[in-house]
Structure 1
Amino acid sequence: MFLVFWLGALLYNLVRGLRRWSFNNASPLEEVFCTAVTRRARVTGGAFNRPSHTDYFITFEMGDGQRLELRVPDEEYGGIVEGDRGVLTHKGTRFKGFRRHSAG
């Protein structure tokens, strides 16, 4: 019974990942002016002598109020703070870059 559950969960995650990959590949590369409104980190692992892993996310708000949360690389996460305004480049749910615009 456990094996059936495990295989079902594996299949579900595989299909979900393939759908997301397909969606991102079919999406156009977009550049939008926006504001970084929130940042968060998700730590997984770290128990029972397993190494931990941290994923970083930033939510961007476009001029029309629409929000988009994207996973960003740790080196980008450290350089973007809440309130930063600039041009976000993304392809579907894939973060491609953020160019900050200075005030003035």
Structure 2
Amino acid sequence: MFDFGPGPSFPGGGGGFDFMFTVVPIIIIIGFVFMFGLIVYSIITHFRNARAPQESAYAKIVAKRMDVQSHSNHHHHQENHIGHTSTSSHTYYYITLEFGNGSRKEFLDVKGLYGLVVEGDAGYAATKGDWIVAFERSAG
């Protein structure tokens, strides 16, 4: 239909290898597949935790940590050639419990307990899968 002639090739190369039309699409496809897989994994993990039975056990809080994830996007406006970057972040809070048998497990705080408990608190922890959903401090 249209013949644009031979594409550019690398200097000293064998000719015919067009980087932009051969390698770049493969990199883009791999990126999309990776992002799609990450989204599917997140959805499956969310539903697995939401459907897990709620369990309650006596435990001690042995650690707390925050995980701040930032994302930056650069926007370029064609008409005035001015670009700007927008940044968004999300903080995830985790609480590690130690159970009576000495085992420890870190749980994602989905109910805002992080600011209400301190390391060393002991009591009954309610968990659903990988989530901590309640903590009732014991009086002793």
Please indicate, yes or no, whether the TM-score normalized by the shorter chain is above 0.5.
Answer: yes
Structure number with greater CO (CA < 8 Å, separation at least 6) is 1
Aligned length: 103
Taking only the aligned residue pairs, the percentage that are identical comes to: 28
Provide the alpha-carbon RMSD of the alignment: 2.1
Q: Alignment partner for residue 11 of structure 1, among 20, 24, 36?
A: 36
Structure 1 residue ranges without an equivalent (≥5): none
Aligned CA distance change for structure 1 residues 13 and 75 (closer, same or farther; 3 Å): same
Q: Which one has the largest radius of gyration? A: 2
Which amino acid is the alignment partner of residue 84 of structure 1? Answer: D
TM (normalized to structure 2)? Answer: 0.64
TM (normalized to structure 1)? Answer: 0.83
Which residue of structure 1 aligns with residue 114 of structure 2?
77
Which amino acid is the alignment partner of residue 28 of structure 1? Answer: P
Which residue of structure 1 aligns with residue 61 of structure 2?
36
Matched-pair contact (CA < 8 Å) for 2:123–2:137:
yes
Aligned CA distance change for structure 1 residues 59 and 26 (closer, same or farther; 3 Å): same
Aligned CA distance change for structure 1 residues 46 and 22 (closer, same or farther; 3 Å): closer
Structure 2 residue ranges without an equivalent (≥5): 1-25, 73-84
Matched-pair contact (CA < 8 Å) for 2:58–2:100:
yes
